[in-house]
Structure 1
Amino acid sequence: MRTRFFRGSRRNILTAAVLVGALGTLGLAGCGDSDESATGTGPSPAPTAGTATTLTIKDPWVKASEAGVMTAAFGVLVNDTAADITITAAESPASPMELHEMTMDGGKMVMQPKKGGFVVKANSSHELAPGGDHLMLMKPAQAIEAGAEVSFTLKLADGTSVPFTAVAKPFAGAEESYDPGMSMPMGSSAP
């Protein structure tokens, strides 16, 4: 009698373990990570319709700025999948946005919209940094004060989106400017 009970329990335990594993894979198990995922520094939230869970943003931040003055958001885009991911646009309630890059033009580094978006290669990362690729806030409606949290949504080529929040920081860097026509002499660099 005891042996039968043990065998039945063993089968139930195995079935329960498989179910728990499946629920965890679907993102239905787990708790307490919602604050980390909102900032892009922790695990992604459980998938919802139209939201990608294949791309994460590490250490997101935005350069503090006055109202109406262009600024930019930065961080590290991480793709842990076996396929390339293309970011085609970015949105924020704080400002109209564009994807920008820095490139050489006539011996000077110039800022321009990134044609085709940012491609994050399979199983790799893509850095958004001052003096390089960045998310451009074209005209913030209000000042972005140091310490403020700004919400963003990345739009991907497959139609999904990745929301994240970035903290505003005061940053002078190499005194780069995000004004129209911004350029940096060759040899200058921003950290």
Structure 2
Amino acid sequence: MRRFALTALAAAALTLSLSACGGSEEKAEAAAPPAAELTVKDPWVKAVDSGMTAAFGTLVNNTAADVTVVSAASPASPMELHEMAMQDGAMVMRPKEGGFVIKAGGTHELSPGGDHLMLMQPSAPIKPGDELRFTLTLGDGGTVSFSAVAKPFAGAGESYAPSTMPSMAS
């Protein structure tokens, strides 16, 4: 009888220790954050003293389905999604109809002279080193927040002023 009791006790202890291990693995898996639907790699903003500017980086889709960015917001300025495109033989900046589509498992580049997040009327100068907060709204209603640091950038001398405004240079 004593031998049966010890065997039963050992089996119960083994069962408890195995279930405790399984429980901790389940907790560890549940505690791990899920992969973000969309991330922004190497974000930055073109520093300006006044006027319009833009934010850039690489949108990375970590899912098996296409993701669409339909709008952007920042406390620093009202915003629009913009593209550079040929129109009547000239390269112009314009709002991006339908947003930015990032293919499943793919990336979408936001760069000077290309697609970008337009800061329409910054409320204050954006100096090199300033950190700005952004929130992207996705087609499914989800949001993605990120920060970007302002950098001085002359680039190719592109202007983020509306193409309908006359040039002030003479």
Partner of 1:102: 84
Gaps of 5+ in 2: 1-5, 165-170
- Distance, in Å, in 2 between the alignment partners of 1:82 and 1:113 is 27
Say if 2:20 is the partner of 1:12. yes
Q: 1:80 aligns with which of 62, 67, 72?
A: 62
Gaps of 5+ in 1: 29-43, 45-52, 183-191
Identity score, percent: 56
Say if 2:66 is the partner of 1:58. no
| 1:47-105 deviation per Cα after TM superposition (whole angstroms, max 9, x unaligned) | xxxxxx311001000000113x1100000001111111111111111111110001112
- The structure having more radius of gyration, on CA atoms, is 2
| 1:109-139 deviation per Cα after TM superposition (whole angstroms, max 9, x unaligned) | 1111000011111111101000100000111
Say if 2:153 is the partner of 1:145. no
Q: Shift in Å at residue 167 of structure 1?
A: 0.1
- Distance, in Å, in 1 between the alignment partners of 2:154 and 2:135 is 25
- Distance, in Å, in 2 between the alignment partners of 1:180 and 1:146 is 23
Partner of 1:117: 99
Partner of 1:177: 159
Q: Give aligned pairs, total.
A: 156
Secondary structure of 1:165's counterpart equals strand
* TM-score, normalization by structure 2: 0.85
Query: Following superposition, which runs of at least 4 residues in structure 1 exceed 4 angstroms of deviation?
Result: none
Q: 2:136 aligns with which of 154, 162, 168?
A: 154
Two-structure CA RMSD over aligned residues (Å): 1.7
Secondary structure of 1:176's counterpart equals coil
- Distance, in Å, in 2 between the alignment partners of 1:61 and 1:114 is 20
Partner of 1:33: none
